[in-house]
Structure 1
Amino acid sequence: MSIDLTTIWAFIIAFGIFAYVVMDGFDLGIGILFPAFQPGEGRNRAMNSIAPFWDGNETWLVLGGGGLFAAFPLAYAIILPATYPLIIAMLLGLVFRGVAFEYRWRDEAHRPFWDMAFMGGSLLAALSQGMVLGALLQGITVEGRAYAGSWFDWLTPYTLLTGLGTVAGYALLGACWLVWRLEDDLQEKARRLALRAGLATAGLMGAVSLYNLALRPEYAERWLTAPEVYWAAPVPILTAIVAIFLWRSLKGKAESAPFWLSLGLFFLGMLGLGVTIWPNVVPPDVTIWDAAAPYRSQVFMLVGVAITMPLIIGYTAWAYWVFRGKVGKDGYH
């Protein structure tokens, strides 16, 4: 019995990207929501709630990007030139966010500036990531196994829509995290922000999904024709159910449930994207098998992943367990 390592690697990369999106997504979301909190205690407690985790969360970005380069080098060589401006903007946003995170505590005289850098860097990184996703979904022009489009092919109404959807989704994750990790009036403020972000996320997810049906004929065929529709239909149904439960948990007094339900919403969104483009890694024509590294390279890398990924998951889980409490008014867990 032969094992399709290419498919295994596709799921490994998808897992790495999902782990990055949900883990770094909530701390980017807190940066996006930062203007809603008053300078001083509110912003300090919000930032302290992610202080033990934010830099470790970015490990998954390295795994996703590095894994794509190693396992699917052709896809990497096509996607990066097609989205260079967005990738550069994302990295600059992450740099500003990281530097501001450290310096706002050490340079109190310029804390308003570092707060703005934290907000702007988080917003820029989130918007860029969403637009990269949109640029990939709308299709990339490829000729002779190389990118053949222009510098600004990524800039379309569709990519702006996916970018705004990602910003809203990250804001939802961040607000739900704060509902879980804060208390008193700040928790209630986060709950109100989560309700607004949830409405925006649901609306933009619906808009992107409808846009996808008109974006490429193969996408509409995948979602609207038999027998594919029988496999695809449960995704939007489950998404609606999770969204309803998320809304009810936020309207009630639940604390941790909104965060887990928002993660479920992201998982179903990613599952829907997988259903839309599978088995392509670069729509419309480059499949995972076209882009895959040689078999021996995949085997060699799989051994490394089998060793390192459990370690990453282990120390991440340990960090979350150690700092599992709420952030009190003293600013500590």
Structure 2
Amino acid sequence: MELTTVWFLLIALLWIGYFVLEGFDFGVGVLLPVLGRSDEDRRRILATIGPVWDGNEVWLIVAGGATFAAFPEWYATLFSGFYLPLFLILVALILRGVAIEYRGKSDNPRAWDRAMFFGSLLPAFLWGVAFANIVRGVPLDADHEYTGTLFTLLNPYALLGGLATLALFTLHGAVFLVLRTDGDLRTRASALARRLAVGALVVGGVFLLITQLTVGRAATWAAVAVAAAGIAVSLLATLRGRDGWAFTASAVAIIAAVVTLFGSLWPNVMPALDPANSLNVYNASSTPYTLTVMTWVAAIFTPVVLLYQGWTYWVFRRRVTGARVEA
């Protein structure tokens, strides 16, 4: 297998890890004002992601760094053409991080709760907008420069993609709260997760179906089916009180959705409306020497990072109860 293909798959894997792990962070933040009826509820909700949210963001940093090193032309075109949406995502992520850290030190925690909500809602929506545009194709000239505007990116298909990721992540966050809390908070999160599953199935299903009919491949139909089945199983498991299975199924749905997008993209990395100007894994990649060095570095350090993050989740695996928050 060529190294360009290997690194395309590795970058797809990094985005899968980011969306699965950061996805429930976004969902928890969006649901904070919905499920947080009291200050204790809101503290418990934030405590579920407190030990892990910053580690989850590492996947985004590594995905961006890997793109820069493996496909510099892709990185340059993406970050210049999508500058404003990516800047808004960055500001929202900073706002969310500050809100998590400063809420407990402020005399006005509700202001930080609002910051947490918008700092989670905006990235959850804009990541879908960005990836929908990447898969659909954008106007590029012969030098691979983006020639559109912000409003070019806000087309109906991309907005639907934003709603799809927002729905999936919110469902993922609700199921995560069911898994990590108890009592009345868990009961309310479970009831909300059932309604969110129906919405995610409809919105996400329509988006993936349109993707398949416009730019999809025969092989990615299987991923679409797995995504739909994942949401359905998550709903069924929630109804039966199988919290671990429900969370696993929602994670599988996100994985399958990302596989659908990257499978539809290959071998392009930034399709152009004029196919002659598209960037692909061949004309956007680094030199073979660079890819070889990166492969060795990834082979050595990736297992270490995975083991450390897995250990973190194991340490903080228990439910967050009211008594533990008060302690």
- TM interval, short-chain normalised: over 0.9
| Residue 269 of structure 1, aligned match among 251, 257, 265 | 257
TM-superposition CA deviations, 1:28-78 (whole Å, max 9, x none): 110011111213111111110111100111110001011001101111111
Q: CA deviation at 1:299?
A: 0.9
Matching residue of 1:319: 312
Q: Give the aligned residue type for 1:83.
A: F
Q: Does 1:141 align with 2:129?
A: no
Q: State the Cα deviation string for residues 191-227 of structure 1 (Å, max 9, x = none).
A: 112112211211111221233256x4xx26x3xxxxx
* Aligned-partner residue type, residue 327 of structure 1: V
Unaligned runs of 5+ in 1: 223-228
CA distance in 2 between partners of 1:289 and 1:208 (Å): 29
Is contact 2:212–2:221 with CA below 8 Å preserved after alignment? no
Is the 1:44–1:331 contact (alpha carbons within 8 Å) kept by the matching residues of 2?
no
Helix, strand or coil: the match of 2:65? helix
CA 1:236/1:150 → structure 2, altered by over 3 Å: closer, same or farther? closer
Map 1:282-293 → 2, pairs under 5 A: 282-284=270-272, 285-293=278-286
Retained in 2: the 8 A contact 1:246–1:262?
Answer: yes
* Other-structure match for 1:174: 173
The partner residue of 1:125 within 123, 126, 129 is 123
CA distance in 1, matches of 2:24, 2:220: 28
Report the equivalent of 1:251: 239
Q: Tell me the TM-score normalised to structure 1 length.
A: 0.91
Identity of aligned residues (%): 32
Q: Name the counterpart of 1:43.
A: 42
Given that residues 82 and 140 in structure 1 are in contact (C-alpha distance below 8 angstroms), is that contact kept between their aligned partners in structure 2?
no
Q: Which moved more, 1:173-182 or 1:191-200?
A: 191-200
**Residue type of the partner of 2:257?**
G
**1:20-59 superposed matches below 5 A:** 20-36=18-34, 37-59=36-58
- Partner of 1:293: helix, strand, or coil? coil
SS in 2 for 1:281: strand
Runs of 5+ consecutive residues of structure 2 not aligned to the other structure: 273-277
Query: Number of residues paired by the alignment?
Result: 319
Q: Secondary structure at the match of 2:125?
A: helix
- Secondary structure of the corresponding residue to residue 167 of structure 2: helix
Contact 1:74 1:145 in 2 (8 A): no
Q: Judging changes above 3 Å, is the alpha-carbon distance between structure 1 residues 126 and 237 closer, same or farther for their aligned structure 2 residues?
A: closer
Listed one character per residue, the Cα deviations across residues 130-183 of structure 1 (whole Å, up to 9, x for unaligned) are 111122122022223322322322111111111111111111111111111111
The residue identity in structure 1 corresponding to 2:101 is E
Match of 1:278 in 2: 266
The 1:122/1:23 distance shift into structure 2, 3 A limit, reads same
SS across alignment from 2:269:
strand
Residue 65 of structure 1 corresponds to 64
Counterpart code for 2:3: L
Equivalent pair of 1:179/1:256 in contact (CA under 8 Å)? no
TM-score (ref. length: structure 2) = 0.93
AA partner of residue 32 (structure 2): F
Q: CA separation of 1:213/1:268 partners in 2, compared to 1, >3 Å: closer, same or farther? A: closer
Q: Deviation at 1:330? A: 2.0
Correspondent of 1:238 among 226, 229, 232:
226
Say if 1:171 and 1:197, in contact at 8 Å, map to a contact too. Answer: yes
Cross-structure match for 1:9: 7
Mapped pair 1:298 → 2:291: yes
Cα distance in 2 for residues equivalent to 1:237 and 1:50:
30
1:329 paired to 2:327: no
1:49 alignment partner, SS class:
helix
Q: Structure 1 residues 296 and 265, CA, compared in 2 at 3 Å: closer, same or farther? A: same
Q: Give the SS at the match of 2:322.
A: coil
Partner of 2:86: 87
Q: Which residue of 2 aligns with 1:225?
A: none
CA distance in 2, matches of 1:148, 1:281: 14
Is the Cα contact below 8 Å between 2:138 and 2:148 reproduced in 1? Answer: no
Structure 2 CA distance for aligned equivalents of residues 233 and 53 of structure 1: 33
More off after superposition, 316-325 vs 249-258: 249-258
Q: Is the 2:99–2:115 Cα contact (8 Å) retained in structure 1?
A: yes
CA RMSD of aligned residues (A): 1.6
1:260 aligned to 245, 248, 272, which one? Answer: 248
Identify if the C-alpha distance between structure 1 residues 76 and 48 changes in structure 2 by more than 3 Å, giving closer, same or farther.
same
